[in-house]
A and B are shown apart, each in its own frame.
Chain A
């Protein structure tokens, strides 16, 4: 994972910006329920009037209120309000039209609105209790009808009727109201402010304020604010998306480039270490995996915690006393997920194994079709398949059914969660500690929190998988190729004759115990053909692969024209070698482009000539597009023999001083093989030719034949010499040719 952060280090600003934007997006998403609760609490329930103490009220109202207040409260109110002459302020006239014609009390700036709200609330309650009592004394039922009528009245009370009571109230001593004031003092602050809020509306109505439009305006304003926030959130998401996809695609690009450049520098030793297949997967699939992790990762791994924590903060602010519900829900969910994954993950791995097994059995079934039919074992194969199939189906069914439990249970838990919140919330509302809008917002926050935790737990599953990919990539990037150019390479350009000498060369693969080649010495002269023969595993291919430094010798030296190959630059070394691999490896393109791979500037004639020597002209000219015929990836559209001939022609185009044919004639039939060798002899002229072969016929006429057995030279000489002197050579030759043919 460290490697990945190194790659991300290049974009500190962009990642920071991403985080900021994600934070913004989370805030936007989180503030919506809050604003919704404002609309419900203030817009709907309080008529859009936020303040619980009136900003202005009529002298009548002031008097009525003061009547029901204790001394300290009264003082507080009196010190917070001042009387303003009619029509003295244009600003107030606009807000409170009645102030144009009559004096009003206005709230001084800097007053404590909440405290005043509570005071007005107490006064309103005291008034309420007094009125109820008064109604009771006059013989009407204490509760029910009377209070109901007052309740309705509180919203649409005729204030002037109350003011008419004022002279009567003035006559009563202040002690007459003490009882009611005491009762009011026991009431919870939040209820008080809500009641005073209702009174404020009455006061404003009296001052000819259009309270209906205040309400509408409040809802509209909040709504527009919500819209803006939504828009801002969307913009943030847009840019997060843009930045995160660009960063992750760029990391993917750089990683891919780095890995590829690194692998291209690898020698065969590293290819053996990793295996070609694994290197391909590392450069393709693994990087794609990492890229995917980054794309979703930046969005999800960073967003989910921000959202989760933000949600918790918001929810706790709305109602600390309900937070435990969310904690319990999150715990239960996480436990559920843990249990399910504990059960499911090993089985997911098992499924992968069984799918591979099913594939294998089917592949064997298909590739062995002839054998199966010949032996009449179709039933046996069907049963073998059915066995794997049954096993796979069983595990699949189990997992599917586990998943079938998971989703209903999760949605049930989420639903139950909101029910619990409503139930607990209802009691808290009853106690007056929260309002309805808060509860509604709380439900939404709890959902957001739960979803965030779900996302986090998903990322916990994702990260280890990608971490495996990252470490596989890092392994490649941290591998230094063992074969490197010397600091001061000797210049051999243009003057190479091509004399190849092995001096006591021994070789073993890294990590292997036994030597593949032991104490090999010989000289291959320019203009001569040196051939290598031996049974499989005798080391003949390995031997020639040491010359172009696909591997470095373990002991001894390989010299070209007297210079150790390790003292040349690899580029120069490869320039003087025409190499033909065992398998005809071609690259996608055309026949011409493949031949030109030998030498970039080769002319059409040179290519045609090389093709002619390699006996490839016949089949090339039979193709409709001749030399411009396309070669598919891996050369799948030409036969094995054609591939070999093309790769021979490719090497010939190079006109190098040294030619290496690593068992390059095996796919050719005898006729072509013979014709090719004949043409080759004529064209390679002064070059040093090294041939690895399986067939004695191919090398019978070489100037020097080196017989290898288990990594050692057991014979060196011409065919006729070796047939007499070398037991191994004769054994090989006898198995291929009859006595008289050997002669």
Chain B
């Protein structure tokens, strides 16, 4: 069977999808460049000493390597003089001692340069890894401190991309781009200084490569960016089309849509081809043109240098050094041109990360009462046992301040009572649960547990009163034992097994390949939906809560497992106050209180009999499940 909803979309990374040089693709821009950079700098300030060393070492390393060619040129000069004297028979010959000295000096210089460069890279990768490590941990901790309402407006994907992509971008910027900016600038300035020190006239003439390269970079980046954008766009279109057609291939087949699909694909593919080759071609031109410009500089130096040597204003070693400098000059120009792009994407990533870290957190706990779980300690005013009565007193609530969805809701639930919440899909049945567990705070009114306002507990303690079994069976990639133990992290293995037994899960767990030690895989699809449900019940049993919240959704479970789950749930509910989100009305007729929800609000409440007698919303809902098509 095909599983159209089960694939993960292809990983999309920053940079061109065609792998084109990232500098060509237009980068993301920060909304507030300065602000983002300021925050990044202040975040980095704790490493300022190390970064300073990195900067000094980077500059030193560059300078040492830049002096090289000029000094090597001196060796060539000694060589020329020596050979000249030899030709003319003066006999002094080549001053090998002099050349040797120069070479030793250069070995020293290059060694220092490489050493500094290494130390610089070593420190910087340490700093950047430290920063990414800390940022990621900060984000993970922040995830826990944000109110649940934050996630109503932010998708998981967005948070995820901050943890990985954005932090990665920052790491890369720190690790490579930052030092590259420094070395490129130093190289550029350094080469200019060296060239001027050899011969100012030739320097001025050969500087024509700078504007040429700059124009080239600007021109090509500007042109190719246009095509990169359209390539990106068509690639998106074509990938979308592919995902859609493959995902819905049965529908396409059933409706004979193959021809239309191929036609649409061909059109998109041709458009993609058009923008793809253009963008690749233009960006591919960058290097050859730079090479051409650098060759122009090379030729200019050869010609002019030759002339200057004849005039006696330059020596051959000077030409040699110049040739190396001119070749190196075009590189940093390309890199410097890229700096603004790098800074922009760094700022954009930093902005998103810091924005996330600065989001408003949930209101801090201000506990006035604590929960007493130890029977041997007598209760006091601030340390109490909880029996499990729940009271809603004139509760008003809305996810957004403008739109109140629960109006003046009041109800009293005694310990051990069973409350059912019913209503059509999307009626907001989980809202009550979310309020009860303080995932959201009520706008006005209060929710009381054993007479204490739930705001008077710490969230942690309040939630420890509840056990949850949700329709969305959340298990993590770990062993079955660890997943059950999640209900009570310090539970012994025996307790885990006992809970599994109570949840009717022990038997099936023992039939699995590694029993309790079987690892639930990443998709959590190596056990069935029903088995997952049983595990979450076991988890809740282990937690031994005072109040239960059950989302009894068993639509995708086969009949036998369903019976097991039902039995497990009944075990679980014994003696506990329970809130049941009901999908099937037949199971909740004996509930002590039924809350009917529609469009987010509670429209009716009462027992089954009361509500049926009312002949209102509940009665209609209840009867609809037995309604038959008129003529069938």
Contact = CB atoms under 8 A, between A and B. Distances in A.
A537 B558 contact: yes
Contact of A272 (B2, B5, B323, B543): B2
B7 A277 contact: yes
A548 interface: yes
A558 interface: no
B277 interface: yes
B366 interface: no
B8 A422 contact: no
A674 B624 contact: yes
8 contacts: A151-B85, A154-B88, A223-B299, A284-B242, A373-B148, A409-B114, A411-B113, A598-B255
B281 interface: yes
B1 A386 contact: no
Interface stretch (B23-31, B74-82, B343-351): B74-82
B272 interface: yes
Most-contacted residue by chain A among B96, B543, B629 (CB, 10 A)? B629
A574 B255 CA distance: 6
B145 to A, nearest CB: 8
Interface size bucket, A side? 35 or more
B463 interface: yes
Nearest to A639: B426
Query: Sorted from nearest, which 4 A-B pairs have the closest CB atoms?
Result: A277-B7, A404-B121, A701-B632, A535-B558
Contacts of B250: 268, 545, 548, 550, 579, 581, 585
A288 B159 contact: no
Interface string A16-59: 00000000000001001001100110011100000000000000
A249 B280 contact: yes
A113 interface: no
Interface stretch (A4-12, A166-174, A353-361): A353-361
Contacts of B558: 535-538
B557 A670 contact: no
A360 B477 contact: yes
A442 B159 CA distance: 56
Nearest to B586: A738
B378 interface: no
Given A284-B10, A373-B437, 19 more contacts: A29-B295, A147-B90, A264-B258, A280-B243, A295-B280, A299-B284, A362-B160, A367-B156, A367-B472, A374-B437, A378-B144, A397-B125, A401-B121, A408-B113, A419-B103, A440-B76, A634-B244, A736-B586, A741-B586
Interface string B431-467: 0001001010000000000000000000110011011
Contacts of B76: 422, 436, 439-440
A186 interface: no
A393 B129 contact: yes
B562 A735 contact: yes
Nearest to B102: A422
Interface string B462-502: 01101110101010110000000011010000000000000
B265 A253 contact: no
A366 B158 CA distance: 11
A29 B6 CA distance: 53
A295 B87 CA distance: 52
Nearest to A275: B7
A509 B121 CA distance: 56
Interface stretch (A67-75, A213-221, A499-507): A213-221
A169 B250 CA distance: 110
A408 B121 contact: yes
Interface string A714-743: 000000000000000001100111100100
A249 B439 contact: no
Chief secondary structure at chain B's binding surface: helix
Interface stretch (A83-91, A240-248, A320-328, A453-461): A240-248
Contacts of B243: 280, 633-634
B284 A245 contact: yes
Interface stretch (B134-142, B405-413, B509-517): B134-142
B208 interface: no
B93 interface: yes
A416 B118 contact: no
Kindly state the interface size class of chain B when it binds its partner: 35 or more
A638 to B, nearest CB: 12
B285 A238 contact: yes
B239 A359 contact: no
A688 interface: no
A415 B68 contact: yes
Contacts of A537: 558
Contacts of B89: 125, 128, 132, 147, 150-151
B306 A634 contact: no
Nearest to A733: B559
Contacts of B171: 396
A543 interface: no
A36 B323 contact: yes
Contacts of A244: 284
Contacts of A605: none
A68 B110 CA distance: 52
Given A191-B86, A249-B273, A407-B117, A295 B246 contact: no
Given A550-B250, A669-B424, A681 B629 contact: yes
Contacts of A529: 632
A393 B302 contact: no
Interface in A431-459: 435-436, 439-440, 444
Interface stretch (A94-102, A226-234, A560-568): A226-234
Interface stretch (A254-262, A334-342, A606-614, A620-628): A254-262
B133 interface: yes
Interface in A586-607: 586-588, 597-598
B395 interface: no
B288 interface: yes
Given A35-B302, A426-B79, A669-B424, A588 B242 contact: no
A523 interface: no
Interface string A369-405: 1111111111011100110011001001100110111
Nearest to A223: B303
B266 A234 contact: no
Nearest to A292: B19
A362 B159 contact: yes
Contact of B121 (A359, A407, A647): A407
B140 A382 contact: yes
A382 B305 CA distance: 66
B87 A194 contact: yes
Contacts of B117: 407-408, 411
Contacts of B363: none
Contact of B586 (A386, A397, A408, A737): A737
Interface in B236-274: 238-240, 242-258, 261-262, 265-266, 269-270, 272-273
A353 to B, nearest CB: 12
A368 B476 CA distance: 9
Given A147-B89, A377-B489, A44 B309 contact: yes
B121 A677 contact: no
A108 interface: no
Nearest to A409: B114
Interface in A127-143: 128, 132, 143
A177 interface: no
B111 interface: yes
A382 B114 contact: no
B163 A362 contact: yes
B403 interface: no
A574 B256 contact: yes
B128 interface: yes
B292 interface: yes
A681 B1 contact: no
A250 B273 contact: yes
B398 interface: no
Contacts of A554: none
B618 to A, nearest CB: 12
Contacts of A380: 486, 489
B624 A671 contact: yes
A678 B11 CA distance: 45
Nearest to B287: A237
